[in-house]
Structure 1
Amino acid sequence: MDDIDRKILSLLAADARRALSDIGAEVGLSPSAVNERIRRMTARGVIRRFTVEVDPAAMGLPVPVFLWVALREDADEGAFRAFASAHPAIAECHHVTGAWSYLLKLHLPDLAAIEPLLEQIKAQRFLARSETILALSSPVPAPMLPR
C-alpha cells in the first residue's frame, strides 16, 4: 500500500458512494486506475466490505454501553461467540487479554435494557462476572481511517 491507496481509502471511508472520477481527481489518477486500486485492495482484504454507517440514536438505540465479561470456567466459548454474533444489541465483541474474557459494545434503547441483556447471558450459563460502563460521549468516531 502506498500513499495514494491510503488517500483512496480515506476518501471511501468518508463517502463510499463517491464517484471514481472525483476520487481520481483528488489523487491524480484516472477513474479506471482508481477502480483497479480499489479492486486490488479488496482482493487483498484491505477493504473487507462496503457498507452503510447507521446512527444508533436515530434507530432508537441512543445508549452506548461497554460490557466487560468474564466467562465461567465451564462456559462454551464457541456458544458465547455465536450468542454475541446473533444478539441485535451487541455491536462489537472483542476477545481480550487480562482479567476479562471479552469486551462487548452495546447500543441500547435505555438504561433499563442492560439488566435483561445480562439476564440473557446468565441464562446461557456464560457469565462468571461482568462490569458495565456507560459511555457519556464518543468524541472519536468508530470507523477506522488509514493514517
Structure 2
Amino acid sequence: MDNIDTAILYCLKENGRVTASEISKKVKLSIPAVAERIRKLEQNSIIQKYIIKLDRWQTGQKLLAFIFVNIDKTEHINAFRSQITVLPGVLECHHLAGAYDYLLKVSVSDTDALE
C-alpha cells in the first residue's frame, strides 16, 4: 500500500458508493488505474466488505447503551457467544481483560427494550 491506496481508502471510507471517476479526480489517476487499485485492495482483503450506516433515530433505535458483562463460569462462554450474535440489538461485542469479560454496544428503541 502506498499513499494513493490510502487516499482511495479514505474516499471509500467517507462514501462507499463513490465512483471510480470521482476518486480518480481526487487522487489524480486514471479511472482504470483507480478501478485496478480497488480490485487489488479487495483481492488482498484490505477492503473486506462495503456496509451502510443507518440513522438510528430514523429506524426507531433511539437508545444506544454500553453494557459490561461478566460470565460467572467458563463453561457458559460458548453459549453466551452463540446467543449474543443472534440478538438484533447488539451492534458490537468486545472481549475485555480486567474486571469484566465483555463489553456490548447495544442499540434499542427505549429503556423497556433494553431491559
* Equivalent residues in 2 for 1:1-147, closer than 5 Å: 1-115=1-115
What amino acid is aligned across from residue 30 of structure 1 in structure 2? S
Q: Using the TM superposition, give the Cα deviation of residue 113 of structure 1 relative to its aligned residue in structure 2, in angstroms.
A: 1.8
Q: Using the TM superposition, give the Cα deviation of residue 19 of structure 1 relative to its aligned residue in structure 2, in angstroms.
A: 1.1
**In structure 2, the residue corresponding to 1:38 is in which secondary structure?**
helix
> For the residues of structure 2 that align with 1:45 and 1:77, how far apart are their CA atoms?
29
> For the residues of structure 2 that align with 1:111 and 1:59, how far apart are their CA atoms?
16
TM-score, with length taken from structure 1: 0.73
Instruction: State percent identity of aligned pairs.
Output: 36
**In structure 2, the residue corresponding to 1:64 is in which secondary structure?**
strand
The verdict on how the C-alpha distance between 1:36 and 1:55 changes in structure 2, with shifts beyond 3 A counting, is: same
What amino acid is aligned across from residue 18 of structure 1 in structure 2? V
What amino acid is aligned across from residue 93 of structure 1 in structure 2? C
Deviations 1:85-127 (A, max 9, x none): 1100101111111111111000010112222xxxxxxxxxxxx
What amino acid is aligned across from residue 12 of structure 1 in structure 2? L
Ranges in structure 2 where 5+ consecutive residues have no aligned partner: none
Deviates more, 1:38-47 or 1:75-84: 75-84
Count residues with an aligned counterpart.
Answer: 115
Greater relative contact order structure (CA < 8 Å, 6+ sep): 1
**In structure 2, the residue corresponding to 1:59 is in which secondary structure?**
coil
TM-score, with length taken from structure 2: 0.92
Ranges in structure 1 where 5+ consecutive residues have no aligned partner: 116-147
Q: Using the TM superposition, give the Cα deviation of residue 78 of structure 1 relative to its aligned residue in structure 2, in angstroms.
A: 2.1
> For the residues of structure 2 that align with 1:106 and 1:5, how far apart are their CA atoms?
33
**In structure 1, the residue corresponding to 2:84 is in which secondary structure?**
helix
